[in-house]
Structure 1
Amino acid sequence: MGMLGQYVMVSEDTLEQIMEIDDDLMDTLEKLIEAGNPSYEIDKLWDGLHFLLTGVSASEPIEGHKLSESVVCVHVFDVGEDDGFFACTEQDELAGIIQAMKQVDFDELEPGFDLAAFRSNNIYPRIWEENRKEALWHELKSEFYALLAFYEKAMTAKQHVIFSVV
């Protein structure tokens, strides 16, 4: 399988409840999705998108960097390392992230899309092969715009976003 990334919209009340829960956070998020909370699966491309936008792995989030926060969110949950990665972006923080995302120019990024850099920085997953360069570029670009649309929906709905990698 692998480490899959997923975003889930939650209300203020739900976020407060989650912050108080010491149980399995992934189980809680799965129940929310089953109950109809909007979600978006970035699958395995979260680290690649973070690297494309920031030049560093998502395992090294950049505090205050809106494009880093667009991928890994703002506030990291304190959970055991074996439990996965969980973070949230509160509703009032979405506007700044969305604004930064709208400033991204893929025509400017494309010449610097160097798969050797992805490989040498051990960007997850290990798919960064030259013969897949065009397809990977389109996949990352597609994931970026889908994530932007998800954030815009969350902002309109006045929802917070929780990101998980498990």
Structure 2
Amino acid sequence: MGMLGQYVMVDEDTLESMMAMDGAELMGTLEKLIEAGNEYYDIDKLWEDLHLSLTGVSASEPVDGNPLSEAVVGVHVFEVEEEDGFFACTEHDELEGIIRAMQQLDFGRLEPGYGTEALRQELKGEFEALLGFYEKALAAGMHVIFSVA
């Protein structure tokens, strides 16, 4: 995959309307939401490496039911054409389990597997920032849309 990943908080009405959109509409809507001040987190290209670090598998093979995989790539995948990108959502009521799994993880005990210590520290920072983003979304009663484009 190797493209840019981003997480955006959305309310219930916005999520409902987005469920019927195609990829181009989804991307346009997310851009408008960010411009309008919706909270977002930009993980850039590190989402793939973070998923591999947390699960041992590529993000192109998400692990159903694994809260650490879902933390990175979302829970519910939108049906869009592959060339339009990747979009998934994590609903508000699913955030608590994901947050709990993230809080229980000792990032320092993960197998380095590949890369350098600098990459490992960068991934740890992204992990902690994503956890903070999810905690804010839970507290605000929001859903989260993950997009890759």
TM-score normalised to structure 2 length: 0.96
- 3-state SS of paired residue (2:144): strand
Instruction: Report the equivalent of 2:28.
Output: 27
How far residue 106 of structure 1 moved from its aligned partner, in angstroms, is 1.8
Instruction: Report the equivalent of 1:91.
Output: 92
Aligned counterpart for 1:143 among listed residues 98, 108, 126: 126
How far residue 76 of structure 1 moved from its aligned partner, in angstroms, is 0.1
Q: What aligned pairs does 1:1-166 form with structure 2 within 5 A after superposition? A: 3-22=3-22, 23-109=24-110, 112-115=111-114, 128=115, 133-166=116-149
1:86, 1:143 → 2: CA distance? 19
Q: Which amino acid aligns with 1:138?
A: Q
Gaps of 5+ in 1: 116-127
- 3-state SS of paired residue (2:19): helix
Q: Which amino acid aligns with 2:132?
A: A
Q: Which amino acid aligns with 2:72?
A: V
2:80, 2:35 → 1: CA distance? 23
1:40-80 C-alpha deviation (Å, 9 max, x unpaired): 00000001000000000000001110000000010000000
1:39, 1:84 → 2: CA distance? 18
Computed over aligned residues only, the root mean square deviation of the Cα atoms, in angstroms, reads: 1.0
Q: Which amino acid aligns with 1:70?
A: A
2:108, 2:47 → 1: CA distance? 20
Q: Which amino acid aligns with 1:11?
A: D
How far residue 24 of structure 1 moved from its aligned partner, in angstroms, is 2.2
Q: Runs of 4 or more off by more than 3 Å in structure 1? A: none
- 3-state SS of paired residue (1:20): coil
TM-score normalised to structure 1 length: 0.86
Q: Which amino acid aligns with 1:15?
A: L
How far residue 134 of structure 1 moved from its aligned partner, in angstroms, is 1.6
How far residue 107 of structure 1 moved from its aligned partner, in angstroms, is 2.4
